[in-house]
Chains A and B, each alone.
Chain A
Amino acid sequence: MVVKELQVMNELGFHARVACKIARSIGEFGSSVNLVKNGKKYDLKSVTGVMMSAAKNGEIVTVEIEGDDEESTAAALEKLFADKFGER
């Protein structure tokens, strides 16, 4: 399992457009991707999971990635966060 600490850097945080983008981008990978917050797990491969985690601008989130392609999944996820999900 790979654990990553990632910062949400886009202005609006996890809103509808971002949820679609994350779920769509990492949905192609085989590994499971869960955001852990307040003892709860949120599935980032699901739009509802991303939305419910309600991560805000500036927040640092912990993500657990597990599976055969966990390294490449983690890299893709890091890039998404770094690109601010293509937003401001």
Chain B
Amino acid sequence: MNGIIAVSGMAYANAYIIRETRACLEPVYTEDVERELSRLQTASKECGRQLSDLIDGLKQDSGEEQAAILEFQYMLLEDENYFGSICNIVKNEKVISEYAVSKYSEEYRQELLALDNEYLNQRASDIKDIEERLLKNLNSKKDEAGNDEPIIVVARDLTPSRFVELSRGDLKGIILEEGGLSSHCVILARSFNIPCMVGVTGAIDDLDGAKTILLDAISGQIIKNPTSEKIGGYETYQREADKVKESLEEYKTKKTETADGKHMGVYANITSTEEVSALKGNGGEGVGLLRTEMLYMEKATAPTREEQIWFYSKIAKELENRPLIIRTLDVGGDKKIPYLNIPEEENPFLGFRAIRFCLENDDIFLTQLEAILSSCEYGNVKIMIPMVSTIDEFKRAKEKIDSLAKTKSLNVQVGMMVETPAAAIMADRFAKVADFFSIGTNDLTQYIFAADRNNKKVAHLNSYFNPALLRAVANICKEARKEGIEVDICGQAGEVEELIPLWVGMGVDNLSVSIPSITRVRRTISLCDTKKCKALVEKVMELSTQDEVKELLEKEKDKWL
């Protein structure tokens, strides 16, 4: 079995195979109509029970609008037009329930999508939801929630809610037949640090009947019912991993301080509400980057203001006043979101994306800004603008925010991602208009070296150790300090062990990292002495190549301690 490693690590546990029923689009005939009708009733009852639970939860969570949507789904189960039609298809055509559910849902969806009414168009996704819920419950026996035994889940793909359900038990690993590296499930697996492989074609059939599975997401192997020899290898690995984990345990609750007592914040980058518990569990001090693209990518139409308010408020509330930096929509021609109508471009990374797109699309941008502002009362919310390259762009975005904030008498900090060379070079001027900087090292690096990070032939040029990047970061930090604004790093470079002393030396205020790295980064910071790190930065600024930088950092490894 081949696949792509999405979250590295190893796991050995019982196999837990999820066979979901996909939409059944070809008729499957049956003699036993009565049995089908009773299956439908049972599934409908079970759906109703699940929805009631969800609705109660949402009402307590003040997700009124979402609750109303689910209530609508609940009512569909009792509806003559919807559920009644499904039953009639079974009766009249003598087909199995799955086909009837899919057939009528699809018909109804098309009817909704054909209407000239945006709100009703959006309801098509509710029909999809209820269809999937019915299909799932029609086959619930094969997919019962696991007990408390450790499991490795094998599935086609997992929805975020299914992931959360499973992670409440003892979830050790995930094997997916589909799922790209940026799928929602993979993002969650990364945040919860659960070894995961994706794109494992045929995994469900190949692992059928397996009692246990050894998932080696380091060398990329999946072994069905492994021998004791293989298990031995895993146990050795696990002992080492446990040791590391244990040594970092104390850093979950410690304050983040350098060796000479200077505070630095260790924040996390997140994408969804589900990650907040993991962030808190690992001692994250805030969210340095909340990506909002997923909200837009998972739907057939733009998320409504209410949906967004619910999403931002829930995270703000759960963070209990820890800072929450929300990045406004960062999309472009490389991310396919049909309803946004962004044309395909030859160079999407240099194209019509992020703030460039938002400034031209008030309906999308203002809705998001309004929703973010409405969530301010629930926590410590700040707004961050991505992909800024001119002062004018930033000012235009800030004006829009200010005028909306004024109507709510709100005072919200508006900062920017520093990720274009233009912003890095003009950092002195940007520092006068922005309330804070957050350096997006991933994009800044690829733009500085003009090297596509997804192009294998040139990706090697993108080195965080190259003085070109380090000088840019140093300059951004210097200018931020002059104006007295905070400067964070929210890119991958922020958690690279060897570079952390440089960030300390440059005076970075907060590092926003992936959730599993929080404790490790905090420990490294605690080993750094600010003065020595400053001296190290000065030396690095004199160097010419990435190899020289690496060599110096290796040589002086013990000196900044």
Contacts and interface: CB of A to CB of B under 8 A. Distances in A.
Q: Is chain A's interface secondary structure helix, strand, loop, or mixed overall? A: helix
B117 A48 contact: no
Q: Is chain B's interface secondary structure helix, strand, loop, or mixed overall? A: helix
Contacts of A17: 68, 71-72
Contacts of A51: 72, 120, 123
Contacts of A46: 79-82
A15 interface: yes
A51 B74 CA distance: 14
A73 B207 CA distance: 59
B117 to A, nearest CB: 5
A28 to B, nearest CB: 13
B234 interface: no
Interface string B57-87: 0000000000011011011100111100000
Q: How large is the interface on A (under 10, 10 to 19, 20 to 34, 35 or more residues)?
A: 10 to 19
A24 interface: yes
Interface residues of B, number: 19
Given A16-B123, A43-B80, A48-B82, A54 B75 contact: no
A48 B86 CA distance: 14
Interface string A13-27: 001110110011000
Contacts of B80: 43, 45-46
Nearest to A19: B72
A49 B108 CA distance: 12
A47 B117 contact: no
Nearest to B73: A16
A2 interface: no
Interface in A1-52: 15-17, 19-20, 23-24, 43, 45-49, 51-52
15 contacts: A15-B119, A17-B71, A20-B68, A20-B71, A20-B75, A23-B75, A23-B79, A46-B82, A48-B79, A48-B81, A48-B82, A48-B108, A49-B81, A51-B123, A54-B120
Given A15-B119, A16-B69, A20-B75, 15 more contacts: A16-B72, A16-B123, A16-B126, A17-B72, A20-B72, A23-B75, A43-B81, A45-B80, A46-B81, A48-B76, A48-B81, A49-B81, A51-B120, A52-B111, A54-B120
